[in-house]
Amino acid sequence: MDEFGFVEPRIADRFRGFLPVVIDIESGGFNHQTDALLEIAAVMIEMTSLGELRPGTTHRYHVQPFHGSRLDPASLAVIGIDPHHPLRPAMPEKEALTQLFREVRKEVRDRQCTRAVLVGHNSSFDLNFLNAAIARTDIKRNPFHPFSSFDTATLGGVALGQTVLSRAVVAAGLEWDPTSAHSAIYDAEKTAALFCIICNRFRGLYEEARERAPQLAQPVPVPPEESV
């Protein structure tokens, strides 16, 4: 609070203590149990001093296929990834997730949130692949909520009448380059921009709800053993 009584808005208050983090995963198929996770990108979401959401820092990791994983040639043709290219700077799953989670936990702490929540376009796909990789690598300090997520396919359908990412992005007034699609970093950044636009346009509804039931806006406590 400043000398005039203005309290700067916090993203920690917008989603009950959760920090939205946009995740896009490119994979060797659609089965999260058997198919390789090949690329993951994350975009942090931040809040301006005026209470508007905007995309923040982007992180991207090329990932080595896990031992015994399936690589569907049709999926690889769509995403344009050669998993075995000698110049591809890929790292093992555990190393990639460890680095990503370190960045996410720092952002959660800096924003005074309790944990991260995944934002994705058809978010169940990305969350399933992420959770499967966490189980395979036995990573303990997962900053993401294990089953909750924000799905921009649903949000785009409600707000814009479009559920396909490219169509929702264009309907929201942004540009879409089809030659850049299916790159984890491109899709994640477009999903982040779409998420922020929709949330900002629904801000009035949120503020009305907060005034109507302020007790429901309190952050969700995290058990000590799950602290990020």
Contact between 188 and 24 (Cβ < 8 Å) = yes
Contact between 28 and 35 (Cβ < 8 Å) = yes
CA-nearest of 100, 108, 91 to 126 is: 100
Residue showing tokens 């300090």: 141
Is pTM beyond 0.85 here? Answer: yes
In angstroms, the CA 8 to CA 96 distance is 34
Q: Give the CATH superfamily of 11-150.
A: Ribonuclease H-like superfamily/Ribonuclease H (3.30.420.10)
User: Of residues 62, 84, 85, 182, which has the active-site annotation?
Assistant: 182
Per-residue pLDDT tens over the stretch 36-76: 999 999 999 999 999 999 999 999 999 999 999 999 999 99
Per-residue pLDDT tens over the stretch 102-125: 999 999 999 999 999 999 999 999
In angstroms, the CA 185 to CA 45 distance is 14
- Per-residue pLDDT at 220 exceeds 80: no
The reported pLDDT for the residue numbered 1 is 47
Question: CB count, 10 Å around CB of 58?
Answer: 15
Per-residue pLDDT tens over the stretch 172-209: 999 999 999 999 999 999 999 999 999 999 999 999 99
Q: What is the DSSP letter of 70?
A: B
182: annotated active-site residue: yes
The reported pLDDT for the residue numbered 216 is 76
Supply 62's token pair. 């090329």
